[in-house]
Structure 1
Amino acid sequence: MYIIPAIDILDKKVVRLREGDYDQVTFYDVTLEEMIEKYQSNGTEFVHIIDLNGAKGDFSNQDYLFDIIHKTEMKVQYGGGVRSIDKVKELIDSGIHRVIVGTQAITNPAFLDELSDAVCDEYKCSDRVVIAIDVLDEVIKYSGWMESSPIKLMDYVDRCLNLGFFRFLCTDINKDGKLGGAGVELYQKLLDHSPFIKLIASGGISSMKDIKALQKIKVEACVVGKAIYENRITIEEIKDWNLKSLISF
């Protein structure tokens, strides 16, 4: 299991939200460029970047983000307002290593079928597309966690698997932004249902103890954001963990 550092951007600033609430935002006195440089210089291969403006349909950050992303050698896992097949392909072709799709896959029943047809033949879709599942008490949420889907969680996972998508980014909303511990119980249920999925855990990770708990249930990776900014987990600890994971792999 490896750790992917997270950088959320709102109005070109590094932030973290609590439970996805734009009214509960913490701004950090560091730039996107500085954060990427810190991770890259410490040997981390992946970085997770979310455009929070884009998630609301405001793409005013995009030129700023892509100017920086194109200068880094790090592999970027990117999300925020990806609403079309063309946008997914555009992002992959422009050098984004993994594209995260969420709301559109939930609200448009045909989207995943069309994405599978468009992407899976040309690319290995599970390596280039990540299906985001944001969960509150086993209910799938979307549109910035403001709306609830009637689709049952495990049914949605099965649908994605049938279309060739095996990598999931699952955020436990109950845990997100609180530094209260990872949603191990939720992730265990997903892995019990489909042991072969590639699961990226997100939300609530506050310490290396949480990281070890996630490794124990064999998630593929975890995304860590606020714990880094609040000095609960150091960049050096991430470096050491990821190097050991690479060696053991």
Structure 2
Amino acid sequence: MYIIPAIDVLDKKVVRLREGSYSDVTVYDISLEEQIERYRANGTDLVHIIDLNGAKGDFSNQSYLFDIVQRTDMKVQYGGGVRSIEKVKELIDAGVYRVIVGTQAITNPSFLEELSVLNEGRIKYADHIVIAIDVLDEVIKYSGWLESSPIKLVEYIDKCLAMGFYRFLCTDISKDGKLGGAGVELYKKLLDHSPIIKLIGSGGISSMEDIEALNDLGRIESCVVGKAIYENKISIEEIKAWNLKSLIKF
């Protein structure tokens, strides 16, 4: 299991939300460029960047973020406000390693169908897509966690798999930003239902013990760690050591 450090951006500032609430924001005294460089300098090659403005339909951050993403040599897993096929193509063609899709995949029935068959040359776009599943009490949330979907969690996973999408970023909202431990039971349920998925865990990770608990499931591809880094619960050096060990085992 690989650890992916996270950077959430709101109004061009590095932040973390508590349980997805835009009214409960912690702002950190470091720029996006500085944080990316901290990770790069410590051997991290994959970073998770979320545009929180974009997630709620405000695209004022996007030109700022795109410029930084295009200039870094790190692999970027990017999400927030990806609302069209054209935007997915723009990001991947510009060098974004993975694009996270959430709201549009849930609210527009044709979006994933179109994306599933989109190919250009050697690029199969579905291979670069991460399906975001943000969950609160087994209810899928979207639009910056402000809306609820009527589709059942496992049914949605099955639908995505049937169209060729296999990598899922599952955020346990009840854990997110609280440093209260990872959603191990939720992830176990998803993996028991669909053992073939590539699952990325997110939310609540507060220590290396939480990382170990996720790793003990044996089937989680990676996990996203954010607030625990900023609050000095997990060091970048620990992440580097873990990821090196994971790569050696792989």
Q: TM-score range by the shorter chain?
A: over 0.9
Offset, 1:66 = 1.7
Is 1:177 equivalent to 2:177 in the alignment? yes
Identify which range, 122-131 or 166-175, moves more after superposition: 122-131
TM-score normalised by length of structure 2: 0.97
Contact 2:182 2:205 in 1 (8 A): yes
* 2:249 matched residue in structure 1: 248
Pair 1:60–1:35, CA change in 2 (3 A) = same
* 1:41 matched residue in structure 2: 41
Pair 1:247–1:126, CA change in 2 (3 A) = farther
Q: List runs of 5+ in structure 1 lacking aligned partners.
A: none
Offset, 1:119 = 4.5
Pair 1:237–1:170, CA change in 2 (3 A) = same
* 1:236 matched residue in structure 2: 237
Contact 1:126 1:167 in 2 (8 A): no
* 2:134 matched residue in structure 1: 134
SS in 2 for 1:164: coil
What's the RMSD between the two structures over aligned residues? Answer: 1.2
| Structure 1 counterpart of 2:230, one-letter code | Y
| Structure 2 counterpart of 1:83, one-letter code | R
Query: What is the distance in 1 between the residues matched to 2:3 and 2:120?
Result: 26
Q: List runs of 5+ in structure 2 lacking aligned partners.
A: none
Provide, for residues 187-206 of structure 1, a one-character-per-residue CA deviation record: whole Å limited to 9, x for no partner. Answer: 00000001110000000000
* 1:90 matched residue in structure 2: 90
* 1:112 matched residue in structure 2: 112
Query: What is the distance in 2 between the residues matched to 1:172 and 1:67?
Result: 30
Contact 1:43 1:239 in 2 (8 A): yes
Offset, 1:71 = 1.6
Pair 1:122–1:141, CA change in 2 (3 A) = farther
Runs (4+) of structure 1 exceeding 3 A deviation are 119-122, 124-127
Query: What is the distance in 2 between the residues matched to 1:219 and 1:8?
Result: 22
Provide, for residues 56-92 of structure 1, a one-character-per-residue CA deviation record: whole Å limited to 9, x for no partner. Answer: 2111111211221112110000000000111101110
Offset, 1:136 = 0.7
Query: What is the distance in 2 between the residues matched to 1:123 and 1:168?
Result: 20
Is 1:32 equivalent to 2:32 in the alignment? yes
SS in 1 for 2:215: helix
1:189-228 superposed matches below 5 A: 189-217=189-217, 218-228=219-229
| Identical pairs, percent | 76
- Number of equivalent positions: 249
Query: What is the distance in 2 between the residues matched to 1:2 and 1:197?
Result: 15
SS in 1 for 2:175: coil
Offset, 1:169 = 0.2
Provide, for residues 162-204 of structure 1, a one-character-per-residue CA deviation record: whole Å limited to 9, x for no partner. Answer: 0000000000011000000000000000000011100000000
* 2:7 matched residue in structure 1: 7
Query: What is the distance in 1 between the residues matched to 2:125 and 2:193?
Result: 21
